[in-house]
């Protein structure tokens, strides 16, 4: 029992001084990526929902941690799409119930792991498909494509362009 409880203490972490330049590249990516989605949502696709909460977390991965396995294009696209499909399926079968929420998130994790496409914001996309309210649930089977697929594709395009402008960054590491 002592060993088990000892694992919970953790270790003291030595943190380096934040790299202002790297932080600014991350900021630029997030401004351009989210700005592009917001602009498209307001001007070009004004009749369609293009912004969902999971895009905030996707932005963190794409622009602040582009070397993360969770930020690679396959994970972002496939993980988000599969999760959105799982969420819509759960809502269609069970409505906005606690069981639908539970199954949407857990099934999205299972699908992402089985396809080697784990993208943590994907689970949020599944959750939003169930609890997002009439504007989201009204999209039905379009939800995985619009906003999830199109939004992820836009953010990925920005990530490729912005991250590779910085000399010390390379994105993606793999497709």
Total domain count, the chain: 1
Q: Is position 7 within any domain?
A: no
* Per-residue pLDDT reduced to its tens digit, 48-94: 777 899 999 999 999 999 999 999 999 999 999 999 999 999 999 99
For 157, other C-beta atoms within 10 Å of its C-beta total: 14
Q: Is position 174 within any domain?
A: no
Name the DSSP letter for residue 89.
H
Burial class of residue 40 (count of CB atoms within 10 Å of its CB; 0-12, 13-18, 19+): middle
Q: Is position 133 within any domain?
A: yes
Q: Is position 9 within any domain?
A: no
Q: Is position 104 within any domain?
A: yes
pTM value is: 0.90
| pLDDT-above-90 percentage for the chain | 81
For 112, other C-beta atoms within 10 Å of its C-beta total: 24
Q: Distance (Å, rounded) from C-alpha 163 to C-alpha 149?
A: 21
Q: Is position 19 within any domain?
A: no
Q: Is position 29 within any domain?
A: yes
Q: Distance (Å, rounded) from C-alpha 36 to C-alpha 70?
A: 22
For 67, other C-beta atoms within 10 Å of its C-beta total: 13
Block means of pLDDT (10 residues each) for the chain, 175 residues, are 86 89 96 95 76 95 97 98 98 98 98 98 98 94 96 97 94 95
What is the pLDDT at residue 48? 73
Q: Distance (Å, rounded) from C-alpha 96 to C-alpha 137?
A: 9
Q: Distance (Å, rounded) from C-alpha 89 to C-alpha 111?
A: 13
Q: Is position 20 within any domain?
A: no
Are 164 and 171 a contacting pair, CB within 8 Å?
yes
Both structure tokens of 137 = 């649930």
Please report the sign of the dihedral spanned by the C-alpha atoms of residue 70, residue 143, residue 128, residue 105: negative
What is the pLDDT at residue 112? 98
Tokens 């039905």 sit on residue: 140
Name the DSSP letter for residue 149.
I
Residue ranges making up the domain that contains 54 = 25-163
């Amino acid at each position: 029992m002592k060993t088990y409880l000892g694992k919970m203490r953790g270790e003291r972490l030595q943190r380096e001084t934040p790299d202002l330049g790297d932080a600014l590249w991350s900021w630029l990516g997030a401004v351009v990526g989210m700005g592009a989605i917001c602009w498209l949502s307001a001007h070009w696709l004004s009749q369609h929902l293009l912004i969902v909460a999971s895009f905030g977390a996707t932005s963190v991965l794409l622009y602040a941690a582009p070397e993360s396995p969770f930020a690679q294009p396959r994970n972002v696209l496939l993980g988000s799409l599969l999760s959105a499909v799982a969420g819509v399926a759960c809502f269609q079968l069970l409505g906005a119930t606690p069981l639908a929420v539970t199954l949407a998130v857990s099934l999205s994790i299972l699908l992402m792991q089985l396809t080697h496409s784990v993208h943590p914001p994907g689970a949020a996309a599944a959750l939003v498909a169930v609890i997002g309210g009439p504007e989201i649930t009204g999209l039905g089977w379009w939800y995985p494509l619009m906003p999830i697929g199109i939004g992820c594709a836009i953010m990925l395009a920005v990530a490729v362009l912005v991250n590779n402008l910085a000399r010390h960054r390379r994105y993606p590491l793999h497709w």
